[in-house]
Amino acid sequence: MFEAYIFPILLFAGMGILAGVLLTAASKIFEVKSDPRVDEVNEALPQVNCGACGYSGCSDYAKAIVEKGEKPNLCKPGGANSADKISEIMGVSAGAAEKQIAVVRCSADCESKKQSFEFEGELTCVNAKRFYGGMWGCKFSCLGQGDCAKVCPSDAIVIKDGLARIDKSECIGCGMCAKVCPNDVIEIRKMAPTADVLCSSKDMGKAVKAVCGKGCIGCKLCEKQCEFDAIHVTDNIARVDHDKCTACGKCAEKCPVKVITMAKV
Amino acid sequence: MKSMLVILFSAMLTNNFVLSKFMGICPFLGVSKKLDSAAGMGAAVTFVMVCATICTYPVYTFLLAPFGLEYLKTVAFILIIALFVQLIEMILKKKIPSLYESLGVYLPLITTNCAVLGVTILNIDNGYNFGESIVDALGAGLGFTLALLIFSGVRSRVDKADIPETFKGVPATLIAASIVSVSFMSFSGMVEGIFS
């Protein structure tokens, strides 16, 4: 009776208690003090794990905020909302957390850009780019194979007629698409009323005209129109300084190729 | 001494736990993506194997066997292994937090890693004495580390290779694992030959 039933029970109870005591002692010796604020900050983040803040995920960023004093306003999907909550937890002022958005700086769909050859491989932008810089005549254009759409965490990008189109209401501004685009055609800019030049071609005007019906020819008419010194033509392409632009719309009116658009929001 | 070396090397190479006994496949596939985390995982498993064997052998010989409780060895061993896994988890969290994070869920999973339980039970079944058991556990741990290190190298090449869509990811990894394990078959008979 004793050997068959009671002894094993006592033995295992004893071993269990011993193990428990050992572990308790060890947990005291090897205690790692974790800040309860890390969890709170983590909860304030949107948990998209997009990596736009520069850390590998939301929990990593939360840790960096609490332990290394990282800025609370780096979360782009969370925007001002997260930043306010985090700064409340941490007791520091947030600074303006600007919501950002991705813009495809190319407006040429299949109809308006000339195709040089057929690409018969696995159709991804990166593959297409490797082969003579892509199948389009314009080597700066959107390659239109949807590498950006594949990485978008919020499914805001669709490819239509060989051009990536971003749904502004869905875009969280994380910048994943800009990172994978082999032509760097996607720009991440602040979400504000501003002008967008929907072309990235650094070719001279004549070369642009030869391959695309909707490209910036670098005529500098917009530069002359702008009263705020916000648009400049460098490398044969107009660029908008989004901090200075007031979205007055004068450049867009004058643009002979209608490549400048005005974003209302 | 000679028999110790035979046990050590046969546990490492001929009877490699991962590649010829197919134990501990989960961390083998899970942690072999990066070389340094593979090395860390191997070290952690080796530590747990040796410590667990040091404890399980006396527990079995002096507490379980005399009272006819051999049938409880699995439960008792798991308890001891769990103790050491918890211990190493605390130590790693305190001393090497980067390794702790890269091992992630696979660290607590050592508790149910059948390679560790396998070593402790096979030591008993093979009738090894205390010293031989420890050497066998050490060999098994080193063999596990070796398999992990070799495979992390293989895997970095497999991941970069241009393989058909169907085989991408886990299938390719499993095929690569089987090829590596075939290569380990060539060790059979060699260890006994060297030390005889």
* A11 CA: distance to closest CA in chain B (Å): 8
Q: Does A11 touch chain B (CB under 8 A)?
A: yes
Question: What DSSP string describes B21-89?
Answer: S--SHHHHHHSTTSHHHHHHHHHHHHHHHHHHHHHHHHIIIIIIGGGT-GGGHHHHHHHHHHHHHHHHH
56-115 of B, contacting A, C-beta below 8 A: 59, 63, 67-69, 72, 75-76, 79-80, 82-83, 86-87, 90-91, 93-95, 97
The beta-carbon neighbor of B69 closest among A8, A19, A31 is A8
ipTM computed for the complex: 0.71
Pick the residue from chain B with its C-alpha nearest to A59.
B101
pLDDT at B102: 74
Indicate the residue of B63, B87, B95 with minimum beta-carbon distance to A26. Answer: B87
Q: What is the pLDDT of residue A98?
A: 67
Instruction: Please indicate whether, in this complex, the C-beta atoms of B93 and A12 are within 8 angstroms of each other.
Output: no
Tell me the C-alpha distance between B84 and B79, whole Å: 9
Strands (E), chain A: 100-104, 157-160, 163-166, 186-190, 194-197, 231-234, 237-240, 260-263
Q: How far, in Å, CA of B108 to CA of B86, rounded?
A: 7
CB contact under 8 A, A15 and B90: no
Nearest residue of chain A to residue B93 (CA atoms): A32
Q: Taking CB atoms and an 8 Å cut-off, how many pairs form between chains A and B?
A: 41
pLDDT digits 0-9 by tens, B128-182: 999 999 999 999 999 999 999 999 989 888 888 888 888 888 888 889 889 988 8
Encode pLDDT of A161-215 as tens digits: 888 999 888 888 888 888 889 888 998 888 888 889 999 888 888 888 888 888 8
C-beta atoms surrounding B101 within 10 Å? 14
